[in-house]
């Protein structure tokens, strides 16, 4: 596993490979396709690390690495979409509340230099995105996680209709999902983590969010394994 991580990250730090330039240009040209692969790889890695912590193995029968990658890829595109929506919508909302000139808050958020104003707008974007979008996304992920396990971790099983009523009513541990995943990790971890995300240059925001996806995979998987 460590070897795989080194192989994936090493090209970023070797200028001669040209990988970094390719990564930046491809991210700009195909942001959602790149978001799919970033989250498919990194967030699934987080879940595999969580499995290693809990059971001592990176994979097991029924775990479903490929289905999990497919789900995380889809969620990665949704997260990239949400970032665009909230980065545009929250500054406009703040302008309407404060009564300042149109484009003022957006300019603060997009400024290259750090400022307290940029930090404030980034924090507002993070709070609203994680309060509105994140609980739905995390709960949906939990349902797909249960669905994958119930169907033997196969791609064919993933494509079967989800029994949402059964999953919601009897299979989701709502005590953990609410009291740990939503009530604690969102304000204590994701608010500040995504504030940092929105301060970064746009090219690296989804990549950083995907790296945070490793933490997200760990948190969701470990929380799901709590008794």
DSSP string, 1-46: -HHHHHHHHGGGG-GGG-HHHHHHHHHHH-HHHHHHHHHHHHHHHH
Helix (H) or strand (E) holding 197: helix 191-199
Domain ranges in the chain?
Answer: 31-224
Please give the model's pTM, rounded to 2 decimal places: 0.86
DSSP 101: P
- pLDDT tens sequence for the chain (227 residues): 555 555 555 555 566 667 667 777 888 889 999 999 988 988 888 888 888 888 889 899 999 999 999 999 999 999 999 999 999 999 999 999 988 888 899 999 988 888 999 999 999 999 999 999 999 999 999 999 999 999 999 999 999 999 999 999 999 999 989 998 899 889 998 999 999 999 988 777 877 877 786 776 676 666 655 54
Contact in structure between 55 and 143 (CB atoms under 8 Å): no
């Amino acid at each position: 596993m460590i070897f795989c991580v080194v192989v994936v990250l090493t090209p970023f730090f070797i200028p001669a490979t040209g990988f970094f330039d390719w990564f930046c240009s491809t991210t700009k040209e195909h942001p959602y396709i790149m978001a799919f692969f970033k989250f498919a790889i990194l967030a699934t890695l987080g879940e595999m690390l969580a499995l290693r912590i809990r059971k001592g193995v990176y994979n097991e029968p029924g775990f479903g690495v490929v289905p999990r990658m497919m789900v995380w890829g889809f969620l990665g595109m949704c997260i990239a979409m949400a970032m665009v929506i909230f980065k545009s919508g929250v500054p406009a909302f703040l302008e309407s509340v404060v009564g300042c000139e149109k484009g003022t808050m957006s300019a603060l958020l997009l400024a290259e230099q750090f400022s307290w104003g940029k930090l404030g707008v980034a924090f507002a974007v993070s709070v609203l995105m994680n309060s509105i979008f994140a609980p739905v996304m995390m709960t949906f992920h939990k349902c797909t996680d249960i669905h994958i396990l119930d169907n033997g971790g196969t791609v064919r099983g993933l494509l079967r209709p989800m029994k949402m009523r059964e999953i919601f009513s009897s299979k989701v541990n709502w005590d953990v999902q609410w009291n740990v995943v939503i009530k604690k990790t969102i304000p204590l971890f994701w608010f500040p983590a995504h504030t940092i995300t929105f301060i970064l240059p746009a090219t690296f925001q989804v990549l950083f969010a995907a790296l945070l996806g490793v933490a997200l995979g760990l948190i969701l998987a470990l929380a799901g394994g709590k008794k």
